[in-house]
Amino acid sequence: MYLEIPKKLKPVIHQAKQVANEVFRPISRKYDRAEHSYPKELDMFASIMDGMNDGSDEGAGAGKLARAANGEEGSGNRNGTNMRTVLGLTELCWGDVGLALSIPRQGLGNSAIAAVANEEQLARFGNTWAAMAITEPGAGSDSGAIRTTATLDGDHYVLNGEKIYVTAGDRADAVVVWATLDRNLGKAAIKSFVVEKGTPGMTLERLEKKLGIRASDTAAFRFENCRVPKENLLGDPEVSVDKGFAGAMQTFDNTRPVVAGMAIGVASAALEKTRELLKRAGVDLGYQLQTWSQSAVARELQLLEAELEAARLLTLKAAWMADNGQPNSKEASIAKAKAGRVGNQITLRCVELCSSLGFSEMELLEKWARDSKILDIFEGTQQIQLLIIARRLLGKSSAELK
């Protein structure tokens, strides 16, 4: 099993690391303190990202994230958009998670569009910055409990409901809204709709104040008789009880490895800075000694590095499977569960190991600890990931194992 990063993807990593170091890091603290202020420095960077995505086949963004067709399985080893996105965002989040989530036209809604949209929709929304709206006041981890409704009325669907915790919702050009066509049919009737900014009936209620990722806006919306063209329904409009809402959920199979990569990025930053600070303090952090003859802090760091490497390899596997048209729902959840937990564990432990430097704003360690927590929550909490993994391993449906 070849575990090295392919040569063709190394420019992606190099480009993203340069952006993280030269664009994100210098303004990281500025926008952490100025919550809800738009990072104008990203406007120029967005143009560069467009070129990276469109001018060549080596983009580091999320805008073109999509699953290879099942028919392509077995046609050779592919490392495509999913792998590039994971590797690119891992490096960008080494710089700053909130800023990475604020890059124009690189929203999670773009991944949803790429995952299930038809060719006409892909062309129409190709340059649209799309956020994703799933969570509701009464439906968080259980996406099947969504109460927002979409009723067909002529050439439009009429949306009614409320959505909260929409990442980049205020800044994005459109929001991909999950709604049900018929509450009586359960999950099978849940579809996703592209609602463009300014659509009558769509109201921004508030922007949330948050523990972390403060550079990224998090919005709450209300939909009251919001009329959306029926062509904006992503995927198949037919309700299939057999398939459930597999089309909408396929988005998660693509985006969960991405979020795992983000957690790996911020945890890597914390470990790197902790090593630097401890080395400066005269602590021997070499690898030449056995664990029982090392200092406690050196042993601790090596254990954290091992956990991070395990999460990284699981994440690469899940992304590779998506690129090669292989079902990866279980692997995507495994990667997200492992990386989300390990990322938060590492950043918090690094704060502790660096004592006053870790707790103060003299370094970014305390910020990374705050930012990392959301990566264990959104795109499905730790507990939900473990539940999904259990269902896949035991062959149980969501009704059989709750």
Catalytic residue numbers read: 379
Q: Other CB atoms closer than 10 Å to residue 115's CB: what's the count?
A: 23
Residues 31, 298: Cα–Cα separation, whole Å: 33
Query: On the CB side of 390, how many CA atoms lie within 13 Å of its CA?
Result: 11
Task: List, in sequence order, every residue forming a beta bridge with 178; answer none if it has no partner.
Answer: 192
Residue 150, φ and ψ in degrees, nearest 5: -130, 115
Residues 103 and 44 sit within 8 Å (Cβ to Cβ): no
Contacts of 256 (CB under 8 A, 6+ apart): 318, 332, 333, 335, 336, 379, 380, 385
Residues 314, 60: Cα–Cα separation, whole Å: 20
Q: If residue 224 lies in a helix (H) or strand (E), which one and from where to where?
A: strand 218-229
- Three-state SS annotation for 32-100: HHCCCCCCCHHHHHHHHHHHHHHHCCCCCCCCCCCCCCHHHCCCCCCCCHHHHHHHHHHHHHHHCHHHH
Residues 154, 172: Cα–Cα separation, whole Å: 28
Closest by CA to 369, choosing from 266, 226, 295, is: 266
Residues 380, 334: Cα–Cα separation, whole Å: 12
Length of the chain: 402
Widest distance between CA atoms in the chain: 74
CA distances from 142 to 18, 58, 135, 367, 383 (A): 38, 35, 9, 29, 11
Question: Strand, helix or coil at 200?
Answer: coil
